[in-house]
């Protein structure tokens, strides 16, 4: 089953190294194919940190996630949570 979802980026500095790494790692661990595309651009493998960073996604941009396989809805729930969270907030 293929599922798509459009998500607004929450990290105040966009998908730079740290949030991109967290996202790509979660996509890889999902065990099913997941892609991410910015606006109407070309989709890239969500498990590729270089591919994700190359999209140059900024705060407030919209991306479309697509997952294909069993558990696709749950995988997108997890990845959506990562993308909508501001990973740039100062932690104490």
Which residues does the annotation mark as catalytic?
A: 16
Question: Quick one: how many helices (H) and strands (E) in the chain?
Answer: 3, 4
Q: Are strands 44-45 and 34-38 parallel, antiparallel or unpaired?
A: antiparallel
SS3 assignment, position 6: strand
CA distance 85 to 10: 5
């Amino acid at each position: 089953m293929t599922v798509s979802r459009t998500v607004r980026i929450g990290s105040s500095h966009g998908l730079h190294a740290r949030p991109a790494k967290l996202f790509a790692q979660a996509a890889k661990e999902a065990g099913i194919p997941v892609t991410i595309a910015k606006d109407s651009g070309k989709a890239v493998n969500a498990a590729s940190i270089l591919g994700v960073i190359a999209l140059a996604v900024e705060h407030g941009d919209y991306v479309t996630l697509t997952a294909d396989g069993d558990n696709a809805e749950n995988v997108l729930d997890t990845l959506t949570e990562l993308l909508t969270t501001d990973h740039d907030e100062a932690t104490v």
